[in-house]
């Protein structure tokens, strides 16, 4: 299959972001009705800070895609975005799609498919034991991104959401300390209740750190084999994720940019450094494009 240069660049960028475990949204034009500046198949990626790489339409269409894509990143659900001109009554509704009216469009309509690409839950397993092996195997079956560490924990630029120490006494203290310093919210220690308590006493943890360490880790199910113990541990991890809101360390959780309403066209605008802006009477106004800013400034009688 032959790809045009733009498609090749987007495909390469998608591959790079996936490898770097960075969340983003892949936006693809699936329908474009003239007059528009894009064609079906045109694509872009939207990053967590709202920046867009690729071509997905003019400035106003781009703004609509950006705002919707950031919502998709929060929900984790794919979305079909329909961007219609003000006289879009002739366009039939599409069940399940999000429709936005874009007064900046020159008469055309767009449909853009937004697919969130969110890295899998990351789990680091420390140890070279049957339980560690079972955790790696079963964690992968759950769809987790599992990293096995046989000789202590190595923290990358993006720390894991959870760390399980199943090393039977090897590198336990330094591994727990490294995970805590990296902001890992769930650290499980495979140990007896007595030995686990001794390890934690040696570490001299504060109250918040102690809450992050689960020892002995695992929900009680009467487990005996390595696989059954791994199952009990992963059950506690799933509970922490699904019921207790366990997330990756805060350093890798991006904050969604603020939004504002353009006072001219009433579009929802994502506030960024390059968003057209006007400060008047101590109030900040944000606009979808420079034209709306100019029009509003003229109405206010300011530059």
298 backbone dihedrals φ, ψ, rounded to 5° = -65, -40
Residue 128 has pLDDT above 80, yes or no: yes
Confidence of residue 136 (pLDDT cuts 50, 70, 90): very high
The least confident of 50-54, 191-195, 246-250 is 246-250
Task: Identify the pLDDT of residue 124.
Answer: 95
Q: Token digits for 195?
A: 């030995």
Helix (H, G, I), strand (E, B) or coil at 96: coil
Q: Which residue has better confidence, 89 or 103? A: 103
Say which residue, 105 or 95, is predicted with more confidence. Answer: 95
**pLDDT at residue 254 in the model:** 54
Fold of 122-252: Rossmann fold (3.40.50)
Q: H or E segment at 264?
A: none
- pLDDT for the residue 98: 85
Report the 10 Å Cβ neighbour count for 198.
11
pLDDT in tens, 178-217: 999 999 999 999 999 999 999 999 998 999 999 999 999 9
Residues of the chain with CATH 3.40.50.720: 122-252
Q: How far apart are alpha carbons 43 and 24 in whole angstroms?
A: 13
Q: Which two tokens stand for residue 78?
A: 């794919």
The neighbouring-strand residues paired with 124 are 147, 163
Query: Comparing 71-80, 109-118, 191-200, 241-250, which segment has the lowest mean pLDDT?
Result: 241-250
Q: Name the nearest CA neighbour of 133 among 93, 164, 155, 175.
A: 164
Residue-wise pLDDT for 1-18, tens only, equals: 556 677 889 999 999 998
- HSE toward the beta carbon, residue 262, CA cutoff 13 A: 26
φ, ψ for residue 146 (rounded to 5)?
-100, 130
3-state secondary structure of 46: strand
What does the pLDDT average to over 28-46?
87
Supply the pLDDT for residue 252.
45
Is the per-residue pLDDT at 177 higher than 90?
yes
SS3 per residue for 127-181: CCCHHHHHHHHHHHHCCCEEEEECCCCCCCCCCCCEEEECCCCCCHHHHHHHHHH
pLDDT for 106: 62
> Which structure tokens are listed for 166?
């199943």
β-pair type (283-286, 162-165) = unpaired
Q: Compute φ and ψ for 34, nearest 5 degrees.
A: -60, 150
* Secondary element (H or E) of residue 295: helix 290-300
Residue bearing the bigger pLDDT, 118 or 231: 231
Cα–Cα distance for residue pair 58/284, rounded to 1 Å: 24
Dump the DSSP string for 206-244: -HHHHHHEESS-S--S---SHHHHHHHHHHHHHHHHHTT
Model pTM? 0.67
| Of residues 5 and 147, more confidently modeled | 147
Mean pLDDT of 147-151: 89
pLDDT for res 253: 46
CA dihedral 80, 81, 83, 89 (to 10 degrees): 60
Tell which wins on pLDDT, 220 or 157.
Answer: 220
What number is the average pLDDT over the span 120-143?
A: 94
Please give the mean pLDDT across all residues of the chain: 87
| In contact, 29 and 40? CB cutoff 8 Å | yes
pLDDT at 91: 61
- Summary count for the chain: helices (H), strands (E): 8, 15
Q: Mean pLDDT highest for which of 57-66, 127-136, 259-268?
A: 127-136
pLDDT of residue 8: 85
Q: Which residue has the tokens 């650290």?
A: 187
Percent of the chain with pLDDT over 90: 49
DSSP state of 191: S
CB 122 within 8 A of CB 147: yes
Q: How far apart are CA 283 and CA 19, in angstroms?
A: 42
Alpha-helical regions (H) of 20-120: 59-75
Q: What is the pLDDT of residue 251?
A: 44
pLDDT at 293 over 50: yes
């Amino acid at each position: 299959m032959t790809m045009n240069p733009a498609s090749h660049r987007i495909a390469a960028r998608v591959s790079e972001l996936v490898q770097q475990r960075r969340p983003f949204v892949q936006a693809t034009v699936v329908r474009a009705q003239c007059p528009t500046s894009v064609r079906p198949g045109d694509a872009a990626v939207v990053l967590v800070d709202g920046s867009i790489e690729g071509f997905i339409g003019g400035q106003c269409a781009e703004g609509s895609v950006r705002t919707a894509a950031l919502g998709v990143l929060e929900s984790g659900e794919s979305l079909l975005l329909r961007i219609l001109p003000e006289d879009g009554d002739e366009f039939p509704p599409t069940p399940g799609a999000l429709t936005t009216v874009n007064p900046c469009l020159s008469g055309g309509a767009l449909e853009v498919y937004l697919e969130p690409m969110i890295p899998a839950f990351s789990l680091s397993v420390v140890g070279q034991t049957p339980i560690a092996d079972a955790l790696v195997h079963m964690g992968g079956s759950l769809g987790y991104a599992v990293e096995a560490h046989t000789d202590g924990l190595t923290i990358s630029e993006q720390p894991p959401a959870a760390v399980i120490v199943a090393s039977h006494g090897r590198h336990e203290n330094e591994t727990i300390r490294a995970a805590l310093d990296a902001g890992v919210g769930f650290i499980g220690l495979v140990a007896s209740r007595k030995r686990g308590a001794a390890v934690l006493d040696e570490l001299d943890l504060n109250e918040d750190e102690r809450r992050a360490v689960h020892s002995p880790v695992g929900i009680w199910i009467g487990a005996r084999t390595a696989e059954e113990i791994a199952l009990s541990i992963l059950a506690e991890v799933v509970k922490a994720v699904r019921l207790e809101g366990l997330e990756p360390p805060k350093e890798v959780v991006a904050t969604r940019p603020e939004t504002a309403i353009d006072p001219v066209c009433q579009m929802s605008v994502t506030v960024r450094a390059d968003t057209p802006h006007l400060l008047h009477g101590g109030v900040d106004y944000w606009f979808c494009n420079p034209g709306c800013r100019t029009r509003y400034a003229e109405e206010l009688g300011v530059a």
